[in-house]
Amino acid sequence: MGGLPRLAGLGGNGQLDSSVAAEGLGLFAVRPDGSTMWQRHLPSGHSTPGVGDLDGDGHVDVVVANDEGTVYALDGRNGNTKWGVGTSQFT
């Protein structure tokens, strides 16, 4: 596993969904019944995801960093990338 799971209402239906990073497999969002909402394969290992409404659109986003130093913000509803930024220029 790449990090600890995070619980948040990703689907907007009042239920707590899980977002979890799995080493070598990517990032998953899982519904309370155990079914997969979405999966994203992102390069390299992953940190524990962060969750919150980053852009004020009323929907929860998922933020995760990988071992290559890239931070991704994903739409919690479908896993689509909102943005990604490399952090190597800051070190």
Task: Return d(Cα 76, Cα 81) in angstroms, integer.
Answer: 10
* Gap between the Cα atoms of 63 and 86, Å rounded: 13
Instruction: Quickly state the pLDDT bin for 67 (edges 50, 70, 90).
Output: confident
User: pLDDT for 28-61, tens place per residue?
Assistant: 999 999 999 999 988 767 789 999 999 999 999 9
Q: How far is residue 46's CA from residue 44's CA, in Å, rounded to a whole number?
A: 7
Q: How far apart are the first and last CA of the chain?
A: 26
Confidence of residue 2 (pLDDT cuts 50, 70, 90): low
Give pLDDT, residue 91.
Answer: 62
What's this model's pTM, rounded to 2 decimal places? Answer: 0.89
Q: What's the confidence (pLDDT) of residue 17?
A: 96
Handedness of CA 6, 7, 12, 13 (dihedral sign): positive
